Amino acid sequence: MEKECAMCGKKFIPLKYRPSVQIYCSVKCRNAYKNKKYHDNRERIIKERKLKYQLNREKKNAERRELYKLHREELIVKRRQEYSVSRDKLNAQRRTKYLEQRDKIIERNKRSYFKNRKIRRFRNSWILQGHKSRGILFEDFTNWLENKWKQQQGKCAICHKQFAKEEDTKIDHSHTTGELRGLLCNACNLGLGRLKEKKEIISEAINYIKTRNL
């Protein structure tokens, strides 16, 4: 009994042991049909796979956490024993590897340091000034910095001193509300801090300079 191939439309005689299942005349047509079906539904298939992977990963992580909680002390003891046995061997391997590739490692670390110096500096400001604890994302913080740098044309917001690079700036923020205000040079930022950021004291300082013709 002849059948029509689902891919190319060619007539073929199916194999005896699977006449009802076989719908392609050859392996080539079967693979071509699968590829076509995949490309037609590619976005949906990828989305489903990602969702399935995420669900499985969360499930496995939850199982691992539960297992770790149950056998925490045993696992800690076991890992300590394994480490104490192989500690000298591991340290020797690390030392030999470092000595073999010492120049490469130093050069790589230097490149990494200079490449990420600006990001590291701004990340420290983001953490130490309390913006992270207030819920401001680091991406929003860096976007604000870039926009402010363009808006101020790379100059201090008070004395209009030109900065050589972004790392030279001081990020001014309100110590009461935590709101970001602008980019200042070190002298102007220190001046605001010394005058306690109070309008009355700043206006009195201006009057003092005017009356004494300084």
Q: Is 153 or 165 the better-scoring residue by pLDDT?
A: 153
Count of helix runs (H) and strand runs (E) in the chain = 8, 4
Whether residue 127 is contained in a domain is answered as: no
CB contact at 8 A, 25 and 8: yes
Whether residue 124 is contained in a domain is answered as: no
- Grouping H, G, I as helix, E, B as strand and the rest as coil, residue 172 is strand
Whether residue 45 is contained in a domain is answered as: no
Whether residue 51 is contained in a domain is answered as: no
> What is the C-alpha to C-alpha distance for residues 53 and 102, in angstroms, rounded to an integer?
40
- Grouping H, G, I as helix, E, B as strand and the rest as coil, residue 98 is helix
pLDDT-based confidence at residue 74 (cuts at 50, 70, 90): very high
- pLDDT one-digit tens code per residue, 79-92: 999 888 889 899 99
- Grouping H, G, I as helix, E, B as strand and the rest as coil, residue 24 is coil
Provide the terminal-to-terminal Cα distance of the chain, rounded to the nearest Å: 109
Say yes or no: 70 and 104 in one domain. Answer: yes
**For residue 188, what are the CA distances in angstroms to 139, 153, 178, 179, 211?**
26, 17, 18, 18, 22
Whether residue 61 is contained in a domain is answered as: yes
**What CATH code is carried by the domain that includes residue 164?**
3.40.1800.10
Whether residue 44 is contained in a domain is answered as: no
> What is the C-alpha to C-alpha distance for residues 33 and 5, in angstroms, rounded to an integer?
10
**Domain membership of residue 77 as a residue range:** 57-115
Say yes or no: 206 and 141 in one domain. Answer: yes
Average pLDDT value for residue range 165-184:
81
Say yes or no: 146 and 99 in one domain. Answer: no
Say yes or no: 144 and 207 in one domain. Answer: yes
Average pLDDT value for residue range 153-177:
83
Q: What is the count of structural domains for the chain?
A: 3
Say yes or no: 165 and 206 in one domain. Answer: yes
Judged on CB neighbours under 10 Å (0-12, 13-18, 19+), 157 is middle
Q: Is the pLDDT of residue 171 over 70?
A: yes
Q: Is the pLDDT of residue 96 over 90?
A: yes
pLDDT of residue 19: 65
Say yes or no: 34 and 61 in one domain. Answer: no
Question: Which of these, 185, 151, 158, lies nearest to 170 by C-alpha position?
Answer: 185
- pLDDT one-digit tens code per residue, 108-163: 888 888 777 778 878 888 888 777 887 888 888 888 888 888 888 888 888 888 88
Whether residue 131 is contained in a domain is answered as: no
Say yes or no: 141 and 204 in one domain. Answer: yes
pLDDT-based confidence at residue 213 (cuts at 50, 70, 90): low
Q: Is the pLDDT of residue 20 over 60?
A: yes
- As given in the structure block, the two tokens for residue 194 are 């010394």
Whether residue 128 is contained in a domain is answered as: no
